[in-house]
């Protein structure tokens, strides 16, 4: 019975609505029978909360996993990755191999992070080892760069100390949770400017893990020249690349929005640093994304009604090592420039083509294996079923020093082929 897909959303963004309408889908309210609900993270909390007793039927799909916060909350992401690493170490996996300084060779991709106030004392110990280091404080539950600040002195975070007497107005349990991470003060600079990478990753299922990388990611540049000098620690225009913050800087440009495509980055790096190191960098980026998903896969509620499109934020340091900063469950759908609007429109379009096959009323029991033709600008990042077919040891062999990536990586503007010959 081919009816039209009935959609609901609580996010009033044209890039979404235009995509629904162009498929001839019908808008309904959430109290009616709907097939597709693009919800904000607040709503997903309600939908899957114990009290709501919501039961989704087979022909209903939503755009978040119930406990996505295992990946998208800064403290939980770190916790899950640490747990994952320890597990691999315990089972003697070569992936968990460490170097002579005790650093993981293949799994060290998140800057040293502690939860506050819980790990305050551990943090202090670490801080004292390198007292000239800078650390970045981020509230666990906020986005868009809100509430973030840098510190380089213990006194600046006194109130998070567990036995702090100055926090008399705030009891332990209501103190807002923060993470504090070692600040990467040697970011790769281009044109003297700091930038970070925003990459979109679609997950259709966690067990088996199947994820796709959007080819058209972008770099977000700070408008002000980067300086690690301590006097500029307060200047958020220097340090934070969130567009929400940069947009208010004096030099923000509304034509290019301070953004570069990932292809530009690739061209620049190949031209100035060489092909091999650039290929290695991009392979590492893919690797850390897959590892982060594997880390949370065991604890994710792999509800078959769900898919999710994440916004990964990655920083590259001046040794061309990528660092995972955070994962966003609700990447911004606001467009700051015309190019941006086109990109996000296409992103949603390709996402819907994969999540809702043929644009027809979904059946959540389908095998979630879309044909290659519908991928659009996505490419398969990791497909656990395919990987298991080839044997798990292939992954280990390729990780241990042999050249990664298909044919050593290719550089053209038109994009690359399948990313995963290592599995």
The residue among 267 and 375 lying less far from other proteins, judged by its C-beta, is 267
CB 413, min distance to other proteins, A: 5
Sign of CA dihedral 281, 299, 368, 341: negative
CB 190, min distance to other proteins, A: 5
CA-nearest of 200, 193, 184, 250 to 225 is: 193
Among 13, 98, 175, 410, binds other proteins (CB under 8 A): 410
CB 268, min distance to other proteins, A: 5
Among 140, 267, 320, 386, binds other proteins (CB under 8 A): 267
The residue among 83 and 275 lying less far from other proteins, judged by its C-beta, is 275
The C-alpha torsion from 230 through 236 and 239 to 242, rounded to 10°, is 170
What are the C-alpha distances in Å from 293 to residues 11, 84, 191, 400? Answer: 26, 10, 33, 20
Q: CA 197 to CA 319: how far, in whole Å?
A: 16
Q: CA 402 to CA 384: how far, in whole Å?
A: 21
Question: Reduced to 3 states, what is the DSSP secondary structure of residue 47?
Answer: helix
Q: Are strands 36-38 and 61-62 parallel, antiparallel or unpaired?
A: parallel
CB 27, min distance to other proteins, A: 33
Among 159, 247, 275, 304, binds other proteins (CB under 8 A): 275
| Alpha helix ranges (H) inside 149-198 | none
CB 406, min distance to other proteins, A: 10
Residue 416 lies near other proteins (rule: CB under 8 A):
yes
**Which element (helix H / strand E) includes 259?**
strand 259-261
Residues 165-194 close enough to bind other proteins by CB under 8 A = 190-193
| Alpha helix ranges (H) inside 51-119 | 69-72, 74-90
Residues 210-239 close enough to bind other proteins by CB under 8 A = 221, 224-225
The C-alpha torsion from 150 through 152 and 158 to 160, rounded to 10°, is 50
Binding mask 90-129 for other proteins (x = CB under 8 A): ----------------------------------------
Among 105, 234, 274, 388, binds other proteins (CB under 8 A): 274
Q: CA 338 to CA 261: how far, in whole Å?
A: 14
Binding mask 339-378 for other proteins (x = CB under 8 A): x---------------------------------------
The residue among 55 and 412 lying less far from other proteins, judged by its C-beta, is 412
CB 274, min distance to other proteins, A: 5
Return residues touching other proteins (CB under 8 A).
Answer: 190-193, 221, 224-225, 250-251, 253, 255-256, 258, 260-261, 263-264, 267-268, 270-272, 274-275, 339, 407, 410-417
């Amino acid at each position: 019975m081919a009816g039209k897909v009935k959609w609901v959303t609580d996010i009033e963004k044209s890039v979404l609505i235009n995509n629904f309408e162009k498929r001839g889908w019908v808008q309904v309210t959430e109290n009616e029978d709907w097939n597709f609900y693009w919800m904000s993270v607040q709503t997903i909390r309600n939908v899957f909360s114990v009290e709501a007793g919501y039961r989704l039927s087979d022909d209903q799909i939503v755009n978040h996993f119930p406990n996505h916060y295992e990946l998208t909350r800064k403290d939980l992401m770190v916790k899950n990755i640490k747990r994952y690493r320890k597990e691999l170490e315990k089972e003697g996996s070569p992936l968990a191999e460490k170097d002579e300084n005790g650093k993981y060779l293949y799994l060290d991709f998140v800057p040293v992070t502690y939860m506050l106030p819980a790990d305050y004392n551990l943090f202090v110990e670490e801080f004292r080892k390198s007292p000239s280091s800078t650390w970045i404080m981020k509230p666990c539950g906020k986005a868009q760069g809100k509430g973030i600040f840098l510190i380089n002195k213990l006194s600046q975070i006194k109130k998070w100390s567990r036995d702090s007497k100055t926090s008399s107005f705030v009891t332990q349990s209501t103190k807002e949770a923060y993470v504090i991470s070692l600040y990467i003060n040697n970011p790769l600079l281009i044109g003297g400017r700091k930038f970070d990478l925003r990459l979109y990753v679609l997950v259709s299922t966690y067990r088996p893990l199947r994820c796709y990388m959007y080819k058209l990611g972008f770099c977000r540049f700070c408008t002000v020249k980067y300086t690690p000098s301590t006097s500029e620690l307060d200047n958020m225009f220097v340090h934070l690349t969130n567009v929400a913050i940069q947009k208010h800087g004096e030099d923000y440009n509304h034509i290019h929005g301070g953004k570069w495509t990932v292809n530009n980055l690739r061209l620049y790096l190949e031209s100035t640093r060489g092909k091999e190191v650039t290929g290695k960098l991009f392979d590492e980026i893919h690797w850390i994304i897959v590892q982060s998903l594997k880390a949370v896969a065991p604890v994710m509620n792999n509800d078959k009604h769900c898919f999710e499109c994440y916004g990964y934020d990655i920083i590259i340091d001046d040794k061309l090592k990528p660092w995972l900063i955070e994962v966003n469950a609700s990447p911004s759908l606001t467009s700051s420039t015309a190019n941006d609007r086109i990109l996000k429109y296409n992103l949603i379009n390709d996402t819907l083509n994969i999540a809702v096959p043929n644009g027809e009323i979904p059946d959540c029991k389908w095998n979630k294996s879309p044909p290659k033709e519908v991928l659009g600008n996505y490419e398969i990042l990791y497909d656990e079923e395919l990987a298991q077919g080839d044997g798990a040891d292939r992954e280990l062999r390729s990780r241990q020093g042999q050249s990664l990536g298909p044919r050593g990586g290719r550089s053209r503007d038109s994009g690359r082929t399948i990313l995963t010959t290592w599995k």
